[in-house]
Amino acid sequence: MRVNLTLQQLEAFERVATLGSFRAAAQTLFVSQPALSRTVQMAENVLSTRLFDRDTRHVVLTPSGQELLPIAKRILMEFDSAFSELSQLLDGRRGHVTIAALPSIGVALLPRAIAFLREQLPGVGFSLEDAPAEPLLKRVEEGHADFGITVEPLPDARLRYTHLLEDPFVLICRRDDPLAQAPRVSWRAFAGRPYIGSAAQGSIEPIVKAVFMRQGIRQTPDLAYPSVAVGGAMVAQGLGITALPKLALQLISSDQLVAVPLYKPVVSRRIGIVTRVGRTLSPAAEAVVRHLQSSSMPIHGEG
């Protein structure tokens, strides 16, 4: 048989049983004594049994009341615990956030941000995914990631872009290359030099090709790298030069390489947060987004 006691009735019963007084229980519950008596009577009606034997001076649990008391205490404790967890979920202190990011973002920015957030929000768990720009957008659109951090996509009614930072391009060459001594170089430096481009469907090569086209630089890759790390290794072997955004420098490791700022024109990747239109972020995800938007996130890796 299903018993339809309400939490209010259970709490009223438990408080009277614990304090042994309707008057004291009414005061702690901030209700009138007649209202409390009605609530307990309703509970007795639902159970079809008396819970208290009472007169003008004493309140004593009946055998049914003695059986109900530990059950009521357990239910109320579990309810309070569950609502405490819910409260933490609603204010972003608990939950799980899945972030999809470009590989360079995943290395250069997210570890530092998550280290800070783990201190501020120890109840929040994180899953990180790295992917090229197009697959990343699909992960967000399909709901596999709460949000993405990537280059600004083309206008799309299904996605919303919020700008975070500019990621300027630099020329990557060997330390013994004459270009390495310049404080900055024009994009014209790529004309007539072996150029190493990206073979991946990422965010870098389309930007570089667009600059070459606008500047009238007739350049096609002599070699194509499958990843930024491999591209850096190719440059270190003297196979050519390449252009990378500064955040991508975290993906290459070589004392033989130098990053030289590019100008004429100064070109940057626009990096921001991408969310799915019509999907409400969890409070925990909103807290992470607010931190990313408010933090300065300086770009490292020049040298």
More confident residue, 48 or 1: 48
d(CA 88, CA 91): 5
- Token pair listed for 58: 């004493």
Mean pLDDT of 213-231: 92
Q: Does 91 or 36 have the greater pLDDT score?
A: 36
Distance CA 240, CA 79 (A): 66
Model-level pTM? 0.67
297, pLDDT greater than 60? no
Q: Torsion angle of alpha carbons 245, 250, 252, 255, nearest 10°?
A: 110
Mean pLDDT score, 82-91: 60
Looking at every residue in the chain, the average pLDDT score rounds to: 88
pLDDT value at 303 more than 50: no
| pLDDT, tens digit, 9 for 90 and up, residues 266-288 | 999 999 999 999 888 888 888 88
- Calculate the alpha carbon distances from 7 to 50, 90, 283 in Å: 18, 22, 27
What number is the average pLDDT over the span 7-25?
91
Q: Is the peptide bond before 298 cis (omega within 30 degrees of 0)?
A: no
Q: Quick check: 10 pLDDT over 50?
A: yes
Q: Can you give the pLDDT at residue 224?
A: 92
88-97, 154-163, 193-202, 230-239, range with the lowest pLDDT: 88-97
Q: Which residue has the higher pLDDT, 280 or 177?
A: 177
**Residue range 99-115: average pLDDT?**
90
Does residue 37 surpass a pLDDT of 50? Answer: yes
Amino acid at 225: Y
Which H helix or E strand runs over 99?
Answer: strand 94-101
The per-residue pLDDT for 43 is 92
Percentage helix, strand, coil for the chain under 3-state DSSP, each rounded to 5: 45, 25, 30
The span from the CA of 6 to the CA of 75, in Å, is 11
Please give the pLDDT value at position 89: 52
Question: What are the chain's domains?
Answer: 7-90 (1.10.10.10), 100-303 (3.40.190.290)
**What per-residue confidence (pLDDT) applies to 302?**
39
- Please state the rounded mean pLDDT for residues 123-145: 91
First-to-last alpha carbon distance for the chain, in angstroms, is 75
Which pLDDT score, from 0 to 100, does residue 92 have?
55
Provide the pLDDT confidence category of residue 2 given band limits of 50, 70 and 90.
low
Contact between 111 and 236 (Cβ < 8 Å): no
DSSP-assigned letters across all residues of 143-203: TSSSEEEEEPPPP-TTEEEEEEEEEEEEEEEETTSGGGGSS-EEGGGGTTS-BEEE-SSSS
Find which of 124-128, 201-205, 256-260 is predicted with most confidence, using mean pLDDT: 256-260
What mean pLDDT comes out for the span 237-251? Answer: 94
Q: How far is CA 296 from the centre of its chain?
A: 17
87 confidence band (pLDDT: 50, 70, 90): low
Question: How far lies 268's CA from each of 105, 109, 179, 203, in Å?
Answer: 14, 17, 20, 11
d(CA 64, CA 13): 12
Question: Which residues, other chains included, contact 98 with Cβ-Cβ below 8 Å and sequence gap of 6+?
Answer: 126, 127, 128, 129, 144, 145, 146
Residue 94 has pLDDT above 90, yes or no: no
Q: Cα(291)–Cα(167) distance, rounded to whole angstroms?
A: 19
